[in-house]
Amino acid sequence: MSKKIFTQEQIKELLQNPNVANCSEKSILYHKNFKVSAIEKYHQGMPPSWIFKEAGFSLAVIGRSAPKWCVSRWLKTFRKKGKAGLREDGRKGSYPRGRPKGIKHLPDKEKIRYLEAQIAYLKAENSFLANLRKKS
């Protein structure tokens, strides 16, 4: 996500483009089919900025570097998941966000290893605190 903030007029302009699925002050959600066609055109040798200009985007509005970053991100997804990955909604699951959800999602061996490490840590902490009490 860029640091660019879109005005209400720019948002209206972007929403009129058939290649935009949604738009807010801070981000543009591109239509799934546009992502696929952009990658196909990129593979044919067309530069990202030309792809976006041909699709009706103004680089003054979206930013000069936006096409390059979007295409590189979509290309990475395309290499991992193919066209189906580009047709998924947004970037959900692409990047870890926030604090891990705990150990629920780990396999049993990983859970055991994690819990054993936690027990060892707590034992060391308890002995450290016991030594502190003895000294005072």
Residue 92 within a domain: no
Residue 65 in tokens:
């570097």
Residue 10 in tokens:
């720019």
50 and 106 both lie in a single domain: no
Amino acid identity, position 10: Q
What confidence score (pLDDT) does residue 34 get?
93
Over residues 74-83, the pLDDT tens digits come to: 999 999 888 8
Q: CB pairs under 8 A, 24+ apart, for 46-50? A: 48/72
12 and 38 both lie in a single domain: yes
What confidence score (pLDDT) does residue 95 get?
57
25 and 65 both lie in a single domain: yes
60 and 103 both lie in a single domain: no
Residue 133 is part of which domain span?
Answer: 99-136
Answer yes or no: is pLDDT of 9 > 80: yes
- Classified as helix, coil or strand, 4 is coil
Residue 91 within a domain: no
In the chain, the number of structural domains is: 2
Please classify residue 106 by burial: count the beta carbons closer than 10 Å to its beta carbon, then call 0-12 exposed, 13-18 middle and 19+ buried.
Answer: middle
Residue 19 within a domain: yes
Out of 46, 61, 86, pick the residue that ends a domain. 86
Residue 75 within a domain: yes
With beta carbons less than 8 A apart as the criterion, state whether 51 and 38 touch: yes
What confidence score (pLDDT) does residue 89 get?
61
19 and 79 both lie in a single domain: yes
115 and 50 both lie in a single domain: no
Answer yes or no: is pLDDT of 118 > 70: yes
Over residues 22-74, the pLDDT tens digits come to: 999 989 999 999 999 999 999 999 999 999 999 999 999 999 999 999 999 99
Over residues 76-113, the pLDDT tens digits come to: 999 988 888 887 765 555 556 666 667 777 889 989 99
- Classified as helix, coil or strand, 50 is helix
Q: How far apart are the C-alpha atoms of 72 and 132, rounded to whole Å?
A: 55
Residue 104 within a domain: yes
80 and 136 both lie in a single domain: no
State residue 22 phi and psi, 5-degree precision: -160, 160
